[in-house]
Amino acid sequence: MVGRPLKKIQCESYTRGSKFTKQCLCKGYLKKSGFYRCKFHGGASTGPKSLEGRIKALRNLNFLKNKTEEEVQQWIKSKITEVSYRKKLSTK
Ligand SMILES: [Zn+2]
C-alpha cells in the first residue's frame, strides 16, 4: 500500500457494486456536511471537458447513437446557451 495507511481517512460512503455493504476504500476529504467523502462520492467530478470526451459520452445516449460526429457536435452547439458561451469567453 502506498503512502501512510495508518493516517489515511477513508471515504465514509458505501459502494454501489457491493449493494451498499462495503465501505469505499478511497482517501476521504472533509466536506462541509461533516462527512468524509472521496473524489468520486464528493461530487467533485465535472464530467468530460474536451469536445472529444463530450462526444464520446453523448454517443452512449440512444438518440445520438447512430449520428455522425459532426451531427453530435452540432447538437452540442445548439445546447450551449448564450450565458454559458459568455462564461467561456470570460474565463479565456
Ligand atoms: Zn468514496
DSSP 12-60: -SB-TTTTS-SB--SBPEE-TTS-EE-TTTTT------SHHHHHHHHTT
Q: 23: pLDDT confidence band, cut at 50, 70 and 90?
A: very high
CA distance 78 to 64: 14
Question: What residues are paired with 30 via a beta bridge?
Answer: 36
Cα(53) to centroid(ligand 1), Å = 23
CA distance 11 to 31: 11
Cα(47) to centroid(ligand 1), Å = 17
Domain segments of the chain: what residues?
1-45, 51-91
Q: 1: pLDDT confidence band, cut at 50, 70 and 90?
A: low
52-90: per-residue pLDDT in tens? 888 888 899 998 888 888 998 888 888 877 666 666 666
% the chain with pLDDT above 90: 36
Q: Which residues make up the environment of ion ligand 1, defined by Cβ < 5 Å?
A: 11, 13, 24, 26, 38, 41
